[in-house]
Chains A and B, each alone.
Chain A
Amino acid sequence: MSLINYASREINCKIVYYGPGLCGKTTNIKYVFSKVAPETRGKLISLATELDRTLFFDFLPLNIGTIKGFKVRFHLYTVPGQVYYNASRRLILKGMDGLVFVADSQTDRFEDNIESLKNLEQNLVSHDMKMDGFPFIFQYNKRDLPSISPVEELESVLNQKGAPFFEAVASQGIGVFDTLKEASKLVLRLLTTT
């Protein structure tokens, strides 16, 4: 839920990274944290298990800058991808303004992506949201690995609506900013039309 505060002159928007376990959501957000100018970022909060799997969420606030007198901020969240953390996953979607779906390109993860997308659709229902009701971006991650599905195949199965997509190697930072750039622009553009 974008929050526009005319009194304190602030605009806050929430972008959520979704996708199956180990697809690279946390890696995306950690890369952003490490590469963005320090004065623009807040603290990175990770609620994770001992083995570094996301348990509840990662959170990174970013100050985009002051535009026409308004401080614009993006709040990035990742959900836990593991199937049995669905209850927490659902909570993080609350008030989301835009979503990045990180898919794992590895062939043996193909079904996991489909599963996760279905799960997203179900979870949106509990927030009275629909798949086409907000900015949506696909990121096909792990393009560096040997056994991966061709992008066309991922596209045809996952991206039915023709949302923007990016190939990525999040662990090397490739495609991470491109994805976020597109997501944040779409979110801001939606503000103008609502």
Chain B
Amino acid sequence: MGGVSLFQDDFRLIHQSLEKLQQRTQANAILLIDRAGQLITSVGKTDKLDITSFASLSAADFAATKQLAALIGEEEFSDLFHEGERENIYVSMVDSKVILVVLFDKRSTLGLVRVRATQISKEISEIFQNIYKKLEEGGPTTTSIVDAEFTREAEEEIDNLFK
């Protein structure tokens, strides 16, 4: 299965790409989400957004749409668009583990978002390729923080929480 570990340098690169996308599209917010529904990171205005719920639902939405595509014999819909009265949601795939979600309003357009998001997705995909490679080569793994002490403390928290 294999989890993903993100380190400072890669994270900074990812952020730069997302910020660039935000500037170029005037998007309100951009989220990078793993296909299991967990938020990786975001830029822009997200303070009024329940970002955890949003990440989980976007991933599910994307997964369901992908299956719909398969049912009509499409390899994949490359992206997904929901139009609202004030705000729109654009979702596209970065790679097999990661999706990109752009929230934008009338200061931007779908065409612009789509073109820019495709470019940035490529950049981010390359960053992730690097991350996966490093993980495979056994770079710094989870063990560097998740050790016996970590497990003990975490189990204490769990015992306290689920009483």
Contacts and interface: CB of A to CB of B under 8 A. Distances in A.
Interface majority SS (helix, strand, loop, mixed), chain B? helix
A88 B53 contact: no
Nearest to A45: B53
Given A36-B162, A40-B161, A194-B142, A67 B7 contact: no
B57 A12 contact: no
A185 B151 CA distance: 8
Given A1-B1, A45-B56, A7 B147 contact: no
Interface stretch (B32-40, B78-86, B108-116, B117-125): B32-40
Interface residues of A, number: 55
B46 interface: no
Contact of A94 (B5, B35, B41): B35
A184 interface: yes
A178 B38 CA distance: 25
Nearest to B4: A3
B47 interface: no
Given A1-B34, A91-B64, A7 B7 contact: yes
Given A1-B2, A67-B154, A75 B37 contact: yes
Nearest to B153: A67
Interface string B90-103: 00000001000000
A6 B151 CA distance: 17
Interface in A51-100: 56-57, 59, 61-62, 64-65, 67-68, 70, 72, 75, 77, 87-88, 91-92, 94-97
Given A42-B50, A185-B154, 7 more contacts: A2-B3, A3-B36, A91-B63, A95-B1, A181-B162, A188-B158, A192-B142
30 contacts: A1-B2, A1-B3, A1-B4, A2-B3, A3-B38, A4-B142, A4-B145, A6-B8, A7-B12, A14-B37, A14-B38, A36-B161, A37-B161, A59-B37, A61-B52, A67-B154, A68-B153, A72-B154, A75-B56, A94-B36, A94-B63, A95-B35, A95-B36, A129-B1, A177-B162, A184-B158, A191-B3, A192-B143, A192-B148, A192-B150
